[in-house]
Amino acid sequence: MLDLKAYLFTLPAVAQPNKPHDLSPPFGWRALVSVWKALYFTPGPYRPDAAKTDQWNRGAYLVRALGHCGECHTPRDALGGKKQDMELAGTDSGPEGGIIPNITPDGETGIGRWSDTDILNVLESGLLPHADYVGGQMGEVVDEVTSKLTDADRRAIIVYLKTLKPIRHQVRRKKTAPSAY
């Protein structure tokens, strides 16, 4: 981040008034961000859980921090905060209105019946168990993030996902033809 700032500050200064925010009230009221942060944001580094293995902690760190998996896979409340008790349980109203599957280990509505290899395939290449490929936003995640991880990191993610609380939560399924991804 500091390198980004250093670069931006080397650019020539341009004297042009900023555009006004086009968010409708109250979303444009900056002071409210501190309220939102008090509700949903805990600053500080990831704190490993000493009761868990290193592999689990690595997975938790990748899923919760670096991978931002919950930004899409966790449903949100009316204020736009992630519902803590629904971690990774999927949502019908993901970013850009997308349908985001439940990836908790629930056998009916989540990925509880998937083998480690099934999950590994998705993270590595986007291949789903029924021989389709993930598309859209997850396609980008696979392309830009999970396909570039080491195998050990992908396996740590799987270990972590498998220990999540199984949450029964059915999201609508897309019934589209295989994506072009």
- Number of other residues whose CB lies within 10 A of the CB of residue 118: 15
Whole-number minimum distance, CB 48 to ligand HEC, in Å?
18
- Residue 76 β-bridge partners: 82
Count the residues of the shown chain that bind ligand HEC, applying the rule CB under 6 A: 26
Contacting residues for 19 by C-beta, under 8 A, at least 6 apart: none
How many helices (H) and strands (E) are present in the chain, helices listed first? 7, 0
Contact (CB, 8 A) for 118 and 130: no
Query: With contact defined as beta carbons under 8 Å apart, do 77 and 83 qualify?
Result: yes
Do 107 and 113 touch, CB atoms closer than 8 A?
Answer: yes
167 part of the interface to ligand HEC, by CB under 6 A? no
Report the sign of the C-alpha dihedral through residues 43, 35, 66, 172, in that order.
positive
Considering only residues 45 to 74 of the shown chain, the ones binding ligand HEC according to CB under 6 A are: 63, 67-69, 71-73
Quick note: the x/- pattern for ligand HEC over 72-101, rule CB under 6 A, is: xx---------------------x--x-xx
Residues whose CB is less than 8 angstroms from the CB of residue 27 and which lie 6 or more positions away in sequence, other chains included: none
Closest distance to ligand HEC from the beta carbon of 75 (Å): 13
Q: What string marks each residue from 127 to 166 as x (binds ligand HEC by CB under 6 A) or -?
A: -x-----xxxxx--x---xx----------x---------
Contact residue for ligand HEC among 60, 103, 156, 171 (CB under 6 A): 103
**CA–CA gap between residue 80 and residue 28 (Å, rounded):** 14
CB of 33 to ligand HEC, least distance (A): 22
In whole angstroms, the minimum distance from the beta carbon of 98 to ligand HEC comes to: 5
Nearer to ligand HEC, 21 or 168 (CB): 168
Residues binding ligand HEC (CB under 6 A): 63, 67-69, 71-73, 95, 98, 100-101, 103, 111, 119, 122, 128, 134-138, 141, 145-146, 157, 179
